[in-house]
């Protein structure tokens, strides 16, 4: 459980640091992704995008493991 929480935290940090690029692709505009201003800075919390990325990575890993 702690591994998954750590993985989700790392994914949130990575998505937050690349939010400008990901918005052009379409991630970051999903329902469940929050953007708000706090003390003059824009804060981006990508809940739905993080879940989507995690599900895609998990499915890809399972598929590769099943094939090999």
pLDDT, tens digit (0-9, with 9 covering 90-100), for 12-50: 787 677 777 767 777 667 888 888 898 998 887 878 888
**Tokens standing for 22?**
């990901």
Predicted TM-score (pTM) of the model is 0.57
**Which residue, among 19, 17, 51, 9, has the nearest Cα to 32 in the 3D structure?**
51
pLDDT at position 59 = 94
**Which residue, among 17, 15, 25, has the nearest Cα to 49 in the 3D structure?**
15
State yes or no: pLDDT of 60 exceeds 90: yes
Rg (CA), the chain: 14
Count of residues making up the chain? 68
pLDDT at position 3 = 87
């Amino acid at each position: 459980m702690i591994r998954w929480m750590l993985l989700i935290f790392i994914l949130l940090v990575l998505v937050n640091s690349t939010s400008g690029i990901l918005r052009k692709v379409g991630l970051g505009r999903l329902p469940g992704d929050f953007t708000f201003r706090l003390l003059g800075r824009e804060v981006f919390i990508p809940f739905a995008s993080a879940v989507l990325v995690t599900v895609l990575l998990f499915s890809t890993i399972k598929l590769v493991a099943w094939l090999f």
